[in-house]
Amino acid sequence: DAKTTQPPSMDCAEGRAANLPCNHSTISGNEYVYWYRQIHSQGPQYIIHGLKNNETNEMASLIITEDRKSSTLILPHATLRDTAVYYCIVRARMDSSYKLIFGSGTRLLVRP
Amino acid sequence: DAGVIQSPRHEVTEMGQEVTLRCKPISGHDYLFWYRQTMMRGLELLIYFNNNVPIDDSGMPEDRFSAKMPNASFSTLKIQPSEPRDSAVYFCASTQWSGSGWETQYFGPGTRLLVL
């Protein structure tokens, strides 16, 4: 699976958009980009995933560049409850394995 | 559904003792994963099962660790004998094959283990 690079920490003001970048320059054609987050002391929580098109759900939007070498997770109106560690994971669509390799993630602090 | 259930939520034990962590996956899920999280190593996959069969245990640190899944609704992770360096948060997760290839993993609340 491709390696991802994320900034170790970021902050944003409550109510503003939080844009979390992820670099995955070695991604291959069959690999998806997943985002999970981990709020303090809890288990990781799935946010969104995508292959090459931009995706949006009730939690966030995922913007993937045309060359697929990087992506951005957007929390449109960050709240204090969005303070968490955000993990960008690249994984191939597999038939028999669902291994997720978690990196160090980005620690997002939402300021009041 | 109640989600993935883990017990105990906290465990404090002394070095050399046997520790057993338990997990009940979401009903109907056919994959179960055990992860360990520490400050030094982050979140790492230990082992995962498909239809109660261990598929990949390459992340299990050593023979002191063992995992079983006797049925679709129950799994255990055992450490015998435990050591202080085993102190960590242990997460269980489950998912269900749907054919899409991107199934979401649902994590339990974790068991916080402290070995003195």
Query: Which residues 58-87 of chain A have a CB within 8 Å of chain B?
Result: 87
**pLDDT, tens digit, for every residue of B6-36?**
999 999 999 999 999 999 999 999 999 999 9
pLDDT value at A72 more than 50: yes
In this predicted structure, what is the pLDDT of residue A28?
84
Res A95: pLDDT: 45
Per-residue pLDDT tens over the stretch A87-96: 999 886 554 5
Q: 3-state DSSP call for residue B86?
A: helix
Bigger pLDDT: A79 vs B101: A79
Cβ contact B42–A42 (<8 Å): no
* DSSP H helix total and E strand total for chain B: 0, 11
Chain A (26-45) residues lying within 8 Å, Cβ to Cβ, of chain B:
32, 34, 38, 41-45
Write the pLDDT tens digit of every residue in B64-113. 999 999 999 999 999 999 999 999 999 999 998 776 666 788 999 999 99
Please work out, in degrees rounded to the nearest 5, the angle formed at the alpha carbon of residue B58 by the alpha carbons of A92 and A97: 25
